[in-house]
Structure 1
Amino acid sequence: EGGGGGGIVLPARGSSASSAPRVSPPTHVFAMPVPVASVAASAKADENDAVVLVVRDLASVASQYPGVAAAAAVDAKFASRVSVVPEAGVAGGRVIVSCTGPLTRDFDDPRCISTAAKAGITAAISAGSVRPVVHVAADLSGLEGEYGRATLLAAAGAFDGTYATLQTREARGEATAEPIETLSFFFEGVGEAEAADAVAKATAVELGRRVARDICSGDPERMAPPKAAEYVEAAFAGLPNVTVTVEGDLPTIEKDYPLLASVCRASRKVPRHHPRVVTVTYTPAGGATKSTTIVGKGVTYDTGGADIKAGGIMAGMKRDKGGAAAAAGFLRTVAELQPEGGSYTALLGFVRNSVGTECYVGDEIITGHAGRSVLVVNTDAEGRMVMADLLSVARKNATEAVAAGTLPADAFHLLTCATLTGHAVVAMGTYPIAIDNAVAASRGATGTARAIQAAAHVVGDPFEVSTLRPEDYAFVASKHPSYDVLQCNTAPSSRTPRGHQFPMAFLVMASGLSDHGRASDVPLAYTHLDIAGAASRGDVASGYETGSPVLGLAAHFLGI
């Protein structure tokens, strides 16, 4: 993809290894442009061409913006929509006003701030601004408690408003697709150090969310498995303390990841759709005392396989790689912030669930990486097949490290992240869902899932929490001695009771984590994230990608 538009373009720099055959690169080289961000001392700087005012109560800024006050005085609905107002004496002679609302209603939450900032930037772009300054009013920047992260919320929302998808940038050119050149922030009443910290963290988050959105939004050919792997390699190239490895050898994948390989069996005849297993690892320079591994489902297109997605429900299935996209994005934020003390790994399974003479079918019994045999019931339940092998690899890595005395068992946390079930959308709508195993549920005062929920809420990337129950394990338990684990049932998850919980039980059983519960010698914490409703918004075919839950994960694991 092309550079330009005045943004920061990350150079092609890199430490990566690959056993995969190379495919022809796209027209543009991968880059992740983020507008140059800075902290401003006021909203009057000559280098800016517009003010984006993010404010709770317009009365609090009436003396600073008399033009805004006059406009509000003659329009009872002024605060309920984004408006462009001429204003003498400020940057660009205009103010784009975007109000958060009172933040006192029962349904208000921190997203009111990030949503207002995003809406303001979107309006600024429409108004022709390329160098706006975002003024976060003192009635927001001075808040505490639930709204105490107003500076980060506003900065993250503003960055969000600058984004255009990878293919839009490639088709139209960077300067046209993302016209914002510089993005300044004036956090009224906030010290310079705190302001700079908020902008730095928001920039790191935006880099991660851009990776997530670029991968998730890429169409089935633009972001086919080999090209998705190339994108990840380029996104991390040259970053300190980061390694990227890519496995693309088909015999190796079939041997080491048999469940994953079964899903992409029909794609073997099409080299440009061949699978890739990508490992991204961040290891701090000073060594690690804890280890977090996130497994991402990267189904670059899901036809449903032999159980074909018929009746128009295949549209939008390019986004079935949203879990791997989010995992890669989170690692990109980690790499930018370079945290001390913890190592972070993303295991990404990029496959295409194609349909054809070679596709896997129901009634097959396939033995996975963990040595557990799985009875296939529905080929459209492919995501759990892809992740089970990778989760087994993560389990094996953790147990071997414990056996070697490298780290104790309680230093490890394993996660899976996937756009996994329609049931998650029916149950929780657009919110990601976190579910703990018993070990993770005993971590800290509330368990990991609740801790993620609490941290993610205050930064505007909220989670819901579900619970794994005995019935979920019973659902996937073997019903016949010919196999160990039942993949699923024949009904859609959206019409199955506990349809987003029992797939986690499958992952526990099929990966071998069932041997590492709280009563075992090596108990391993595991949290499953179903982001089916959170990865995108709008129409299934023409909606947009969110980058969630990169921000929420960064809030919990990195303490941003």
Structure 2
Amino acid sequence: MSPPALPEIRTSAALSTLSDASDALVAIYTDASSLDSLAQIASDSAAYIALSRSVDKDFGSTVTLIPSTSISGGRLVLSPTGSLDDDTDDVRKLADAVKAGVARAVQAGSSRPAIYFAQPPPTEGECSHDADYSRWIEVCILAALEASYVTLVVREHRLATCKAGKAVVENLESVDFVFAHSVSQDEIDKAVRRAKAIETGRRLAVDMGYGDPERMTPYNCAEYIKAAVDGVQGITYEEIKDLDVIKREYPLLYNSARASFSEKRTWPCVVKLEYRSPEAARVREQFAILLSDSLYLVGKGVTYDTGGISLKIGGSMRGMSRDKLGACGVAGFVLATGVMRDASVNISCILAFERNSIGPNSLLPDEVIVSRAGVRVLINDTDAEGRLVMTDPVAECRERILAAREAGNKTPAVIYTAATLTGHVIRAYGWYGATVANGPARKGRYDHRLAVSGLAYGDPFENSIMRRDDYAFVASKTDREDVYQSNCQASTLTDRGHQYPAAFIIKASGLDKHSLKSGGSSAIPFVHVDVAGSAEDGVEPGLGLCAITGSPVATFAGAFWAP
């Protein structure tokens, strides 16, 4: 099963041109006085709004549904943003207002809402230094589409149990966007096109993420990605399932997954995606550096993480079907780029899928495994499997970059890993993603660009800095190994628990030979992206699991696509 088609998106320049096809009007506003403009189409509501404002000082601060006979569908939903220009305000407040307003309209029975923006967001000079409203139209479209989305597991259940009529597999049939202020049609059209591409990729990511351990085994993840990218121009798909090949090419992944070999449905696999720009001459980086084959992405796809023989205890295994969200997000970004047909980037992507099982053949602490790069890795904790499954793909990316340079291609390239790697990043920053970059990437500000893009798309990232402590922590103290995989404590109980894993990946993949010291022609920028915080929204629905956000699909799009 694949995601249903997105709702139809229509845009209007004024309320007077609003289509009669809508069945609710959702007004997004900061200042309740701006609602006076609604009088032109909702005259019967104007008196109610005016009276409410005069007797209720709290009116306009919460989502409110008002019946209105003059509005198509009879539903007027008021959804405030609150302030947008205070110290910690950012574009997420607009997104939250849109999601809340659309959700209330859907709850009331609407499937074709119109969203009316009663006033523009602050300009750059009016808002905080830590706010960026430059992508607010895209952010709001994405918020409405998020409110429309029905998860894969719910869609499949509804279709399987629907006995009569049509199963609801999308909350909205259409959505109109109405702007009360001057926004050029060209700006709107670009925003709609980008948002639709991003949402297509984001839905692939969240569909896979919501799938339970049996619905989304490693092979099922590969199958779902293959179906999603099939026929998308510019994207090629390859999968590796042969265990002998995985053992030879990705020994750390192979050994981490050993306990899963008893059942073929839980065997590991590697998915490779390539995206090639339709205009090779236009391939470039957003910082105006001309690139070729510039973007190498590696995603962690652990479809269930028991901890392996270093068993997770105390209920901490709950939610570990989501330890694949890094790979899900990367796959979603590649799909979004193909749908967008972005001409500014080429992408090479490797996704490592496994189930970190327990059994007689489990990987054991005290084993020394030799990585693809020939580095001897001492295993200390089989629950630190994410860095293992990504390291050999990083080594492969390194080899490809070096081969391209030896063939005469001297243009820069950068490697990004994406993973729900540590609980420490949540302890450090809360429900935000974080980047950890090596020297060449810091010098090129590759980590900073994700922070800039994340701010604009309402997916803020923190930039962590790698220190000498991180390399010292994993450095071997004997001649029996070259690097320590981890310590034996949870990352949340370890100093610099989300930073030092990047030092391990760098050392075990051979990237340590391509630091700033190696010189400009040999240096390879590397950024590790820990999305353990940002890939989920942090809101626990009772005994259930958090909602999945699709991070970092939008942030990557903002960072790597042409403006």
Q: TM-score, normalised by structure 2?
A: 0.90
Classify 1:325/1:202 alpha carbon distance in 2 versus 1 (closer, same or farther; 3 Å).
Answer: same
Classify 1:70/1:180 alpha carbon distance in 2 versus 1 (closer, same or farther; 3 Å).
Answer: farther
Q: Which amino acid aligns with 1:430?
A: W
Distance 1:141 1:161 in 2: 24
Match of 1:34 in 2: 6
- Using the TM superposition, give the Cα deviation of residue 111 of structure 1 relative to its aligned residue in structure 2, in angstroms: 0.7
- Using the TM superposition, give the Cα deviation of residue 205 of structure 1 relative to its aligned residue in structure 2, in angstroms: 1.4
- Using the TM superposition, give the Cα deviation of residue 535 of structure 1 relative to its aligned residue in structure 2, in angstroms: 1.1
Whether the aligned pair in 2 keeps the contact of 1:298 and 1:350 (CA below 8 Å) is yes
1:465 is the counterpart of 2:468: no
- Structure 1: where are the runs of 5+ without partners? 2-29
Distance 1:228 1:303 in 2: 18
Match of 1:534 in 2: 534
Distance 2:143 2:545 in 1: 22
Whether the aligned pair in 1 keeps the contact of 2:123 and 2:133 (CA below 8 Å) is no
Distance 1:74 1:199 in 2: 40
Q: Which amino acid aligns with 1:57?
A: D
Alpha-carbon displacement from aligned partner over 1:374-424 (angstroms, at most 9, x marks no partner)? 00000000000000011111111111111111342x2x0100000001111
- Using the TM superposition, give the Cα deviation of residue 477 of structure 1 relative to its aligned residue in structure 2, in angstroms: 0.9
Classify 1:105/1:41 alpha carbon distance in 2 versus 1 (closer, same or farther; 3 Å).
Answer: closer
- Using the TM superposition, give the Cα deviation of residue 70 of structure 1 relative to its aligned residue in structure 2, in angstroms: 4.1
Match of 2:524 in 1: 524
Alpha-carbon displacement from aligned partner over 1:274-300 (angstroms, at most 9, x marks no partner)? 111001111012224331011100000
- Using the TM superposition, give the Cα deviation of residue 104 of structure 1 relative to its aligned residue in structure 2, in angstroms: 2.4
1:180 is the counterpart of 2:172: yes
Match of 2:42 in 1: none
Distance 1:70 1:346 in 2: 58
2:272 match: secondary structure: strand
1:552 is the counterpart of 2:550: no
RMSD: 1.7
- Using the TM superposition, give the Cα deviation of residue 240 of structure 1 relative to its aligned residue in structure 2, in angstroms: 0.7
Match of 1:324 in 2: 327
Percent of aligned pairs sharing the same letter: 39
2:487 match: secondary structure: coil
Q: Which amino acid aligns with 1:198?
A: A
Q: Which amino acid aligns with 1:491?
A: Q
- Using the TM superposition, give the Cα deviation of residue 355 of structure 1 relative to its aligned residue in structure 2, in angstroms: 0.4
Match of 1:23 in 2: none
Alpha-carbon displacement from aligned partner over 1:489-540 (angstroms, at most 9, x marks no partner)? 0111111111100000000001111111123241111111011111113338
Q: Which amino acid aligns with 1:376?
A: I
2:76 match: secondary structure: strand
Classify 1:198/1:45 alpha carbon distance in 2 versus 1 (closer, same or farther; 3 Å).
Answer: same
Aligned match of 1:211 in 184, 188, 204? 204
- Using the TM superposition, give the Cα deviation of residue 553 of structure 1 relative to its aligned residue in structure 2, in angstroms: 1.5
- Using the TM superposition, give the Cα deviation of residue 33 of structure 1 relative to its aligned residue in structure 2, in angstroms: 3.1
Whether the aligned pair in 2 keeps the contact of 1:434 and 1:464 (CA below 8 Å) is yes
Aligned match of 2:20 in 46, 52, 57? 46
- Report the more deviating stretch, 355-364 or 129-138: 129-138
Match of 1:222 in 2: 215
Q: Which amino acid aligns with 2:405?
A: V
Pairing 1:18-97 to 2, within 5 Å after superposition: 30-43=2-15, 44-65=18-39, 66=46, 67-97=48-78
Match of 1:452 in 2: 450
Match of 1:420 in 2: 421
Match of 1:21 in 2: none
1:296 is the counterpart of 2:288: no
Match of 2:162 in 1: none
- Structure 2: where are the runs of 5+ without partners? 40-45, 160-165, 284-290
Distance 2:4 2:98 in 1: 21
- Using the TM superposition, give the Cα deviation of residue 74 of structure 1 relative to its aligned residue in structure 2, in angstroms: 3.7
1:355 match: secondary structure: coil
Classify 1:73/1:198 alpha carbon distance in 2 versus 1 (closer, same or farther; 3 Å).
Answer: farther
Q: TM-score, normalised by structure 1?
A: 0.91
Distance 2:305 2:439 in 1: 32
- Using the TM superposition, give the Cα deviation of residue 160 of structure 1 relative to its aligned residue in structure 2, in angstroms: 1.4
Distance 1:367 1:399 in 2: 21
1:400 match: secondary structure: helix
Q: Which amino acid aligns with 1:36?
A: E
- Using the TM superposition, give the Cα deviation of residue 559 of structure 1 relative to its aligned residue in structure 2, in angstroms: 4.6
